[in-house]
């Protein structure tokens, strides 16, 4: 990586100096994956063939940014600044792209500030998305008893539902033999699949709108001087979003479980084309989980934060240090995904299990709350932290009139930490994570609960010392 920047004041306006920053950079990323021949030829466990791969990308970039003071020291405009920025990036993989933004920082009065703006951003496909080798896996699609699984099963809810004849005909068209069709059973919850990168991917483009207010107390009263709060709204739309068509989604859409993805029950439907069956047994022989530029994502939400600090002496509790509290509440209003261009958006806010956006992030709770309470008594300090995640429905129930797959209940986690300063150079610390040993929830797909959200390790302890010399 090579980068150079320059910044400084250009000229003065009545409200202050106009400042600018410019820069240019070059970077190169490359990797090679060379698995052992035993893995390539499937002679070791796990029995999944993985081939070699590799690739690289180069990026040349240039950018410019302006900070323009518009107003100052006026009624209801103590300070108004405009921030404008532009960047041009030339990728060896997707070519030249443009990004830009405009934002306003408006100090309405001393205690109240408005912030907001618009930003156009891009994300070029990374090396893994471009060059990941074909790998076999066993993705979960759920069980027939739970209302999911392979819908060609003679006892599945779609084979026994209102459109049973059309589902049966589709199964025959896919390759389930006529001698098997009315006896076919799917007793598991997973099918063999192949996942790979895609060198034809293009960049995804996002438009983000934000608006928020920040309030900080200007009161001299000791019980109010340490209070501040903020509220921010965001609305993000992502076009040509890079994601994966999961096997569970292919079954839902191919067999028209949502009532609109394949209304004619055609075997030529795109989602059906990702499923290959053994023509002797009818079982799924292979499902493809392609990495594609999907239609789009749309998400919006509100974040609220409150901070408070007060001396215990001001509460009439004597000179015993300070008490501080913090709470952050996040509300996800919507998280809509359009799987393919031209198809309707489906809202997955409040669901778990959808890996289309990121295989490592499968949870989209509508409410998340983070809170902490800290006592600082000089050489001693202690902090209690709490995390709350709202209940979530199973993502495979989305779009179904009577989805029966179980979701997860809400979860709360607590952590306790302490600190003791022996002297100005020595600090001891200790703590307990997941204080009440709360277990993560499990959902019907049989997958490990989302480790990016839930604590999967259980209660654990730590101690440490910091020493400055």
pLDDT band at residue 137 under the 50/70/90 scheme: confident
Q: State whether residue 208 is helix, strand or coil.
A: strand
Q: Take residue 138 and report the two structure tokens written for it.
A: 């066993």
pLDDT at position 361 is 66
In angstroms, the Cα distances linking 202 to 58, 124, 170, 241, 430 are: 15, 7, 33, 9, 48
Q: What is the reported pTM? A: 0.81
C-alpha 356/C-alpha 362 separation (Å) is 8
Question: In which region does residue 323 sit, left (phi positive, over 0), alpha (psi from -120 to 50) or beta (all else)?
Answer: beta
For 260-312, where are the alpha helices, taking DSSP H only?
270-273
C-alpha 31/C-alpha 56 separation (Å) is 6
pLDDT single digits (tens) 297-322: 899 999 999 999 999 998 888 888 89
Mean pLDDT of the chain: 90
Confidence check: pLDDT of 216 > 60: yes
Assign 3-class secondary structure to 88-112: EEEECCCEEEEEEEEEEEEECCCCE
H or E, element range at 209 = strand 204-216
Q: Take residue 217 and report the two structure tokens written for it.
A: 């107390």
Question: In which region does residue 434 sit, left (phi positive, over 0), alpha (psi from -120 to 50) or beta (all else)?
Answer: left
Q: Take residue 448 and report the two structure tokens written for it.
A: 């490990």
Q: Percentage of the chain surpassing pLDDT 90?
A: 65
Q: Higher pLDDT residue, 357 or 346?
A: 346
Mean pLDDT in residue range 285-307:
92
User: Which position has the token pair 């608006």?
Assistant: 211
Q: What is the DSSP letter of 126?
A: -
Other C-beta atoms closer than 10 Å to the C-beta of 220 total 7
pLDDT single digits (tens) 167-186: 999 999 999 999 999 999 99
Q: What is the DSSP letter of 312?
A: G
pLDDT single digits (tens) 234-261: 999 999 988 888 898 899 899 998 788 8
> Lowest mean pLDDT: which of 123-137, 295-309, 365-379, 400-414?
400-414
pLDDT at position 110 is 85
C-alpha 154/C-alpha 168 separation (Å) is 8
Confidence check: pLDDT of 116 > 60: yes
Q: Do residues 361 and 353 touch, judged by C-beta distance below 8 A?
A: no
pLDDT band at residue 22 under the 50/70/90 scheme: very high
C-alpha 393/C-alpha 363 separation (Å) is 10
Confidence check: pLDDT of 103 > 90: yes
pLDDT at position 148 is 84
pLDDT single digits (tens) 39-71: 777 676 655 667 788 899 999 999 999 999 999
C-alpha 231/C-alpha 305 separation (Å) is 7
Q: Do residues 338 and 295 touch, judged by C-beta distance below 8 A?
A: yes
pLDDT single digits (tens) 366-389: 999 999 999 998 899 999 999 999
Mean pLDDT in residue range 388-392:
94
């Amino acid at each position: 990586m090579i980068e150079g920047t320059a910044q400084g004041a250009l000229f003065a306006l009545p409200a202050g100096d106009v400042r600018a920053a410019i820069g240019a950079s070059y970077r190169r990323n490359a990797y090679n994956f060379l698995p052992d021949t035993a893995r390539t030829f499937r002679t070791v466990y796990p029995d999944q063939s993985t081939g070699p791969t590799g690739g690289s990308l180069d990026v040349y970039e240039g950018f410019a940014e302006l900070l323009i003071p518009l107003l100052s020291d006026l009624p209801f405009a103590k300070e108004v600044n405009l921030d404008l920025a532009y960047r041009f990036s030339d990728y060896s993989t997707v070519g030249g792209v443009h990004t830009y933004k405009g934002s306003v920082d408006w100090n309405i009065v001393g205690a109240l500030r408005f912030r907001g703006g618009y930003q156009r951003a891009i994300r070029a496909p990374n090396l893994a998305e471009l060059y990941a080798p074909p790998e076999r896996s066993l993705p979960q699609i759920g069980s027939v008893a739970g209302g999911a699984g392979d819908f060609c099963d003679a006892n599945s809810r779609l084979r026994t539902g209102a459109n049973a004849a059309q589902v049966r005909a589709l199964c025959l068209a896919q390759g389930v033999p006529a001698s098997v069709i009315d006896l076919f059973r799917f007793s598991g919850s997973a099918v063999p699949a192949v996942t790979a990168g895609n060198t034809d991917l293009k960049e995804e483009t996002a438009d983000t709108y934000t608006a928020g207010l920040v309030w900080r107390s200007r009161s001299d009263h000791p019980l109010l001087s340490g209070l501040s709060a903020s509220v921010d709204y965001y609305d993000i739309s992502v076009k040509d979003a890079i994601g994966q068509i999961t096997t569970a989604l292919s079954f839902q859409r191919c067999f028209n479980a949502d009532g609109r993805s394949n209304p004619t029950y055609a075997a030529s439907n795109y989602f059906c084309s990702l499923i290959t069956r053994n023509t002797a047994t009818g079982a799924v022989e292979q499902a493809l989980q392609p990495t594609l530029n999907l239609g789009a994502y749309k998400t919006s939400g509100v974040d609220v934060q409150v901070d408070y600090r007060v001396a215990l002496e001001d509460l009439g509790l004597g000179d015993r240090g300070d008490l501080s509290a913090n709470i952050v509440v996040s509300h996800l209003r919507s998280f809509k995904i359009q799987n393919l261009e031209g198809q309707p958006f489906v809202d997955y806010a409040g669901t778990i299990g959808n890996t289309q956006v990121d295989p490592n992030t499968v949870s989209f709770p509508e409410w998340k709350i983070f809170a902490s309470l800290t006592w600082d008594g000089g050489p001693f300090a202690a902090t209690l932290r709490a995390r709350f995640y709202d209940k979530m429905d199973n993502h495979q129930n989305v779009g179904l009139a009577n989805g029966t797959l179980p979701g997860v209940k809400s979860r709360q986690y607590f952590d306790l930490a302490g600190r003791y300063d022996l002297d100005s150079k020595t600090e001891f610390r200790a703590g307990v994570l997941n204080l009440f040993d709360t277990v993560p929830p499990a959902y019907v797909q049989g997958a490990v609960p989302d480790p990016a959200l839930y604590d999967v390790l259980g209660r654990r302890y730590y101690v440490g010392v910091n020493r400055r010399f």
